[in-house]
Chains A and B, each alone.
Chain A
């Protein structure tokens, strides 16, 4: 029982990341009709927003203290980040909480990146075949990841969670089980709650605002909404920007869980695409459902008990499920008829 609970918990944070990326993918597909293979790159860019902000915050002022010398007899270098020097404790806190702080900065940055991407490239591909959309965004993804690689290098850059959020929650004790059996890192819990929050915001936005209503109408029937004289193109640019923000935030918050490197986007892209397809192209609920479902199943498959029965299952579980679902339910769990066929 404890083991099962633990695996469900383990799957939640990864599931949250899948769900956030897949949500953006499916919104873009549903509204713009574009298959965006560069979406994983947006996740990666979000993660590197966090990396850059930490680097900027961590810029250090180096002063030489002539009164003290090192073991080699040179004057001792005192390194102090500028933010600390300027803002004192507030600066130290900022540095400490660089990952959550990055969210604030990542939102406008990702929005801008999204808008540039949509206006500069994607919009020319609305009417082109899906194969060409896939190819051009695939090329863009490679370009973006190589640029990041040339700036930040090829190695993963660890981003610690704030100290206060580095411990573990004892879930077992919380639920009245024996203490110490079901422990779960606070940050991963935070990630899960964060992803729920973002998903909630996106749904609320689509559900309760006029803008969201138009977008949902556009997802259902683009032609008709266009005929109503609503300028959907401009709205869709914003939709793309929002999807970029969602993917970017997923990336920012994921950095303490997985040290970002330049190819993390591609790694998540393939899985997120599988998630979208399993959920049903263009279905918001499907993307979220499939994201968490696959995250949890993946963590179950990596249990030793399961691996002993079916060796290697942890490596292929997601793909296997995708294949089965696509064959049994051709349009995914919650997909609509006629989307993306042909």
Chain B
């Protein structure tokens, strides 16, 4: 029962994932998330987290600098729009390549160290990129204003093909299909599906097994004749390419790139997405990205009026107190919720939501003890070291 080397469970997982993604507008509409702006955020940050997971989830290297690659991807994509064409395909290709090159350089140096030293090195590089984007690199990044399109951009390829956008500011379009609204989402959605497929292949491959071995015991790897550093570096570059692509897609849906995308708190966000969903699991990071972007959207839209309605069933004083307390966590206070969530997950559920689901499932289905086979299971978790 194999097709293209993948077994039945994996095909079911992949097809299920694709169906859910493509039917997103219908599936997520009951929870109020069925509109393209939010859905494409799910998809884009899903890609970002999927890539980060290949590094952190499999090899255990905790990078605190991945937002830099996201930012680089955005800048690259906007420049491609400006110089070449408003077609998103060259933009995301360049964003991925430049993200990969950038991460190859940073990864090559950072991976000379492990543990916290590695984290600090990646953090240092990301902060350097961020600071430079705001200062001396202003000609490339347009500093605080952010890089934007202008009417008189050269757009060499578009001009050569006789495409003229007239006097309006162009938006990105795929052979005439405007990349806003649903087409924009579907473009990102298809990318997400492709990225998920690649991630699935990596997880099931001998290469994926080697990456898990890097996390588990580098010493043993060396004495088994395996050179650990190129494995970790490859994972780093792949995750950098995913981040570059995600950054490029952000620019496709909204052709604007700012340095704040590169700040280290943004790197922290992708760590949270991955952990929340479950580092080292296939689906977890996408779920984590979706949950966070969903709640960010809902929570930051809340205001006192909505809260008062929500608690209107309570007596007035109680209602007042509840509104006061909960308003700390919503709207402007969304980051407080995020921080608290971060702590709760790390304290109580280090395996993330996927681990939680597994625990719940195990409550109902009693399974024989022991792990699952490497080739056959649907989603082999990598256990956290004790």
Contacts and interface: CB of A to CB of B under 8 A. Distances in A.
A/B touching: CB–CB < 8 A? yes
Contact of A142 (B112, B114, B328, B336): B336
A270 B127 contact: yes
Interface residues of B, number: 47
A320 B346 CA distance: 31
Q: Which 3 A-B pairs have the closest CB atoms?
A: A142-B339, A139-B342, A312-B136
B113 A326 contact: yes
A327 B112 contact: yes
Interface in B321-342: 328, 332-333, 335-336, 338-342
B115 A342 contact: yes
B268 interface: yes
Interface of A: 35, 121, 124, 127-132, 134-136, 138-143, 146-147, 149-150, 266, 270, 273-274, 277, 281, 311-312, 315-316, 319-320, 322-323, 326-327, 330, 340-342
B134 interface: yes
Contacts of B268: 138
Contacts of B270: none
Given A131-B62, A315-B135, A140 B124 contact: no
B116 A139 contact: no
A78 to B, nearest CB: 33
Given A139-B340, A142-B336, A146-B335, A35 B116 contact: yes
B28 interface: no
Contact of A330 (B117, B264, B339): B117
A131 B343 CA distance: 13
B124 A322 contact: yes
A143 B334 CA distance: 10
B260 to A, nearest CB: 13
Given A132-B346, A140-B339, A142-B342, A319 B116 contact: no
Given A130-B116, A131-B62, A134-B119, A315 B132 contact: yes
Nearest to A144: B339
Interface of B: 60, 62, 109, 112-117, 119-121, 123-125, 127-128, 131-132, 134-137, 218, 264-265, 268, 271-272, 275, 328, 332-333, 335-336, 338-343, 346-347, 350, 384-386
Contacts of B350: 128, 132
A165 B272 CA distance: 45
Contacts of B346: 132, 135-136, 139
A27 to B, nearest CB: 16
B265 A266 contact: yes
10 contacts: A135-B271, A138-B342, A139-B339, A146-B335, A149-B332, A150-B332, A150-B333, A274-B124, A320-B124, A327-B112
A44 to B, nearest CB: 14
A70 B52 CA distance: 65
Given A134-B62, A140-B339, A142-B339, 17 more contacts: A121-B347, A135-B272, A135-B342, A138-B268, A139-B340, A139-B343, A141-B339, A150-B333, A274-B124, A277-B116, A312-B136, A315-B136, A316-B127, A316-B128, A323-B125, A326-B117, A326-B120
Given A139-B340, A141-B339, A315 B131 contact: yes
Given A139-B343, A312-B137, A315-B131, A270 B116 contact: no
Given A312-B135, A319-B127, A340 B116 contact: yes
B64 to A, nearest CB: 8
Contacts of B264: 270
A150 B128 contact: no
